[in-house]
Amino acid sequence: MTSTPAVEDIVGSEYEHGFTTEIESDTLPPGLDEDVVRAISARKGEPEFMTEWRLKAYRHWLTMTPPNWADVDHPPIDFQAISYYSAPKRPEDGPKSLDEVDPALLETYEKLGIPIEEQKALAGVAVDAVFDSVSVATTFRETLAEAGVIFCSISEAVHAYPELVKQYLGSVVPHTDNYFACLNAAVFSDGTFVYIPEGVRCPMELSTYFRINARNTGQFERTLIVAEAGSYVSYLEGCTAPQRDENQLHAAVVELIALDDAEIKYSTVQNWYPGDAQGRGGIYNFVTKRGDCRGARSKISWTQVETGSAITWKYPSCLLRGEDAVGEFYSVAVTKGRQQADTGTKMIHIGPNTRSTIVSKGISAGEGRQTYRGLVRIGQRAANARNHTQCDSLLIGDRCTANTVPYIEVKHPSANMEHEATTSKISDDQLFYCRARGLSEEDAVSMIVNGFCKEVFNELPMEFAVEAQKLLSISLEGAVG
C-alpha cells in the first residue's frame, strides 16, 4: 500500500521538533507557583483577563488531589519537577542523524511508508530543508479565510478575537472540572482555535498540520472549536507515526461547542511513545475532551484510535443540551506490552429527543491493561432520549486485561437505552479458516482485527482510516504466534 500525498501530509502533522527555524531559546526552570503562571502569561503577551483566568485555575488546582479511580498504575507525578514553559527546542538537541534514532522506530516508519525526510522530522532529527509544508499551508489558509473560518493558535486568538475567547474558553470544561483540566487551564502552552461562522461548511478537513505557527504545544495543549448555527467542520488531531517527545505528562483539554444545526466531527489518532518493553519512559496521556451540543439539532462526533502512550486516561464526552442533539463516540484502543488505557465516554442527555451512540472496541495484547469506563445519563427533561452502547473487547494472550465499567443512570421513562458488551479472543476457527486459504498467521490476525474495528474505522476520514488500519496491523505484530 503506498501512501497518498494527503496521507503524508497528515503523517507529518504533529508537534515535531525542528520544523521551523525561528527558534527562541526560552525555558522556565522546573516548578510551579503563581509567578510561573504569571510568567507564562507574560511570555505569551496575554491580556489581563487571561492572566487572571490562569491564576484562578492555579489557585483552585492547589486545593485538588490527583484522581485515583482510574484502573491505571503509575508512580506519583512530581508536578514541581516539570518545566511548564519551554519554547521550541533547538534542532541540535535532537539526534544528529537517523543513525542515532531507535532502529525499531525507523522500522515502523518504513512500514508506514514515510519518506526519509519526514522520518527525520518525526524522529526529531535536525533537518534544514523542510518539504514544502509552508506553501501548502499558506494556500489552505487563503481558502479558509475566504470562507470566513478562523483557524489559528489560541495565543493568536487571545489577541485577535478576545471576545470569542472570553465567551467560550472554559465554558465546556471549567477549570474546576478535574485535576488535570485545572492544571491545563493554569499553564496551557498553546493550542488551536477554530471558529466556523454561521452557515459555513468548512471547505476542508482541518488539521493542526496546516497551522504553521503551531510548534511544540504538546504538553499542555488546549483546543477550542466553535461551530456557529448551521455550520460543519471536521477536525483531525494526531498522527499515525510514532513520535519522539520529551514531555512525559500530557494534559490536554479540548472543548467543542456546537450551536443550532451545527456539526463537529473530531477525529484523533494517538500514537505517542508507549515506553520500552518494561513500560519505562512512555507518555502519560491525561486528556479532558468534551463537546457541548448547545443548539437544537446539533451533532458532535468523536472518533479515536488510541494505540500509543504508556497510560491513556481519556473520556471524550458530549453534553446533549439542545433538542434533538446527537452525540457519537467511536473508539478503537489498543494496549500491548505494559500499556494501560482507561478510556471511554460520557453521554449526558439533557434535552428532549437527544440521541447518542457509543461503539468502543478494545484490543488488549501482551500484558496490556484496558478499561472501558463510560457514563450514559438520561436526565429528567430528556424525553425520548435514545442511547445505544456497544463495547467489545478482544483479548490476545493470557496475560492481558479487559475491563468494562459502564454507568447508566436513567431518570426518564421514555428513555430507550441499550448496552451490550462482549469479550472474546480470536478464535482458532477464524484463524484456521484464514490460514486454510493461504493467509499467513499475521495477515490473518490483522484481517480479523481490522474486521473487529471496522465500525469505528468507517467513521474516520478516508486517509486516516487507511493509515489506522496499517497502524493497527503494525501495533499487533508478533502479538499472536
Shortest Å distance, C-beta 422 to other proteins:
5
- Residue 422 makes contact with other proteins by CB under 8 A: yes
Single out the segment in contact with other proteins by CB under 8 A; choices: 110-118, 280-288, 392-400, 445-453: 392-400
Closer to other proteins by CB, 241 or 395: give it. 395
Q: How far is residue 365's CA from residue 248's CA, in Å, rounded to a whole number?
A: 23
Residues 6 or more apart whose CB falls under 8 angstroms from that of 61 comprise 175, 179, 182, 183, 185, 186
Q: Which one of residues 64, 150, 204, 408 is an interface residue with other proteins (CB under 8 A)?
A: 408
- Residue 165 makes contact with other proteins by CB under 8 A: no
- Number of residues in contact with other proteins under rule CB under 8 A: 35
230 within 8 A of 256, measured Cβ to Cβ: no
Residues 6 or more apart whose CB falls under 8 angstroms from that of 405 comprise 344, 371, 372, 373, 374
- Residue 473 makes contact with other proteins by CB under 8 A: no
- Residue 359 makes contact with other proteins by CB under 8 A: no
- Residue 25 makes contact with other proteins by CB under 8 A: no
Shortest Å distance, C-beta 412 to other proteins:
6
- C-alpha cell of residue 270: 494517538
- Residue 224 makes contact with other proteins by CB under 8 A: no
> x/- string (CB under 8 A) for other proteins, residues 367-386?
-----------x-x------
Closer to other proteins by CB, 90 or 411: give it. 411
> x/- string (CB under 8 A) for other proteins, residues 85-124?
----------------------------------------
The angle formed by the CA atoms of residues 117, 123 and 127, to the nearest 5 degrees, is: 45
Q: Which one of residues 144, 200, 400, 460 is an interface residue with other proteins (CB under 8 A)?
A: 400
Q: Which one of residues 172, 402, 465, 476 is an interface residue with other proteins (CB under 8 A)?
A: 402
Q: Which one of residues 416, 443, 454, 462 is an interface residue with other proteins (CB under 8 A)?
A: 416
Shortest Å distance, C-beta 405 to other proteins:
5
215 within 8 A of 190, measured Cβ to Cβ: no
Shortest Å distance, C-beta 64 to other proteins:
14
- Residue 414 makes contact with other proteins by CB under 8 A: yes
Shortest Å distance, C-beta 357 to other proteins:
15
Closer to other proteins by CB, 49 or 432: give it. 432
CA nearest neighbour of 317 among 373, 262, 369: 373
Residues 6 or more apart whose CB falls under 8 angstroms from that of 306 comprise 268, 270, 312, 314, 331, 332, 333, 334, 341, 343
- Per-residue exposure over 359-375, b if at least 16 CB sit within 10 Å of its own CB, e if not: bbbbbbbbbbbbbbbbb
- Residue 409 makes contact with other proteins by CB under 8 A: yes
Q: Which one of residues 229, 419, 439, 442 is an interface residue with other proteins (CB under 8 A)?
A: 419
Q: Which one of residues 412, 435, 439, 447 is an interface residue with other proteins (CB under 8 A)?
A: 412
- Residue 20 makes contact with other proteins by CB under 8 A: no
Shortest Å distance, C-beta 313 to other proteins:
17
Q: Which one of residues 113, 162, 174, 397 is an interface residue with other proteins (CB under 8 A)?
A: 397
Single out the segment in contact with other proteins by CB under 8 A; choices: 235-243, 267-275, 286-294, 405-413: 405-413
Q: Which one of residues 155, 247, 285, 404 is an interface residue with other proteins (CB under 8 A)?
A: 404
- Residue 441 makes contact with other proteins by CB under 8 A: no
Q: Which one of residues 100, 139, 160, 407 is an interface residue with other proteins (CB under 8 A)?
A: 407
> x/- string (CB under 8 A) for other proteins, residues 59-78?
----------x---------
- Where does this chain bind other proteins (CB under 8 A)? 69, 378, 380, 393, 395-425
